[in-house]
Amino acid sequence: MSVNSLIGGHVMVAGGLATGGLKYADEIGAEMIQVFVSNPRGWALAAGDPAQDARLRESGMPAFVHSPYLVNLGSPTPETLEKSVASVRHSLRRGAAIGALGVVVHAGSAVNRPKEEALRQVREHLLPLLDAIPDDGPDLLLEPMAGQGQVLCATVQDLGPYLDALDHHPRAGICLDTCHAFAAGHDLSTPDGVRETFDALHEIAPGRLKLIHANDSKDPVGSKRDNHENIGAGHIGAEAFAEIMRHPVAAGIPLCIETPGKSPEHREDIDLLKKLRTT
C-alpha cells in the first residue's frame, strides 16, 4: 500500500493560473494539480503572467502541465507537425516557468500511414525537445491513447517501440490514463488485470511512470473509446484504484482525476480516492 501518493485533479484556471488554479484545488481538496497553459483545443501559444507563474511556483503545490489536445507529432500533415512541435516546446517552457514536475503529451497517431514511418518522425522531432529540457525543467510524459485508429501507443506493450524510437531518453516519462488503458484492453477492473498491467509496465519501462490519470470508464474493456466516468461509477470500479495504489510500481506516483463534472463531483472523486488510498 502507498499512503503517500498525492491525489488531485485537473483544475480550472479562470482568473489566473495561480489565482484560479489554487482556488479550485482548495475547493476539491487536491494535493496536486494539472493545468493547461494555453487553449487546449487551439494552437495559440499564451505568454503567461510572470506574477501568476511565480505565485504558483512558490505555493509548493505539485503541478503538471497537459499539452493541447491537437498535438500530434506523428501527423503526416506538415502544418500540424510544425504546430505540434511548437506547442510541445511552449508547454515545456511554461512548465519550467511554473515549476511543473512534468508535461503530459498524447503519444499521437500515424493517421493514414505506417506506424513505423510515423515513429521515425516522432524521433526526429521529439529527441531535440527532450535534449533541450534543462536539469531543473519538467520531464516530458508520454500518454498512451485509448487504441482508436492508427494511434502510435495504446497498450503498455506499445511503449516498447515508442521508447526505443526515443533511445529511452532519460527525460521521457510516462503518464498512464486508467480509462485509456482499459479501453485499449487492459482489464483494470480485476486485481489480476491491475497486477498484469503494472508488472508489464515495470518490465517494459522501469522507473518511467510519473503520473496516473485516474479516470473510470463509461465503456467496457477493449472498447477503444475514450469516455471518462467518475470514480466507481464506470466499468473499472472503485476498488481497482485501491489495487493500483497498492502496486509497487504505483507507489508514490500522483493520481490526477480528469472525471466529468466540476465541484462537488470532483471533490467526491478525490475524497473517494483518498479513502481507497488507506485501505
- Catalytic machinery residues: 41, 66, 69, 106, 143, 177, 180, 213, 226, 228, 258
Neighbours of 63 (CB within 10 A): 26
Q: How far is CA 125 from CA 8, 42, 56, in A?
A: 32, 20, 30
Q: Where does residue 219 rank: exposed (0-12), middle (13-18), buried (19+ CB within 10 A)?
A: middle
Q: Is the peptide bond before 264 cis (omega within 30 degrees of 0)?
A: yes
216-217 and 228-229: which strand pairing? antiparallel
Alpha-carbon span 127 to 131, nearest angstrom? 6
Helix (H, G, I), strand (E, B) or coil at 7: strand
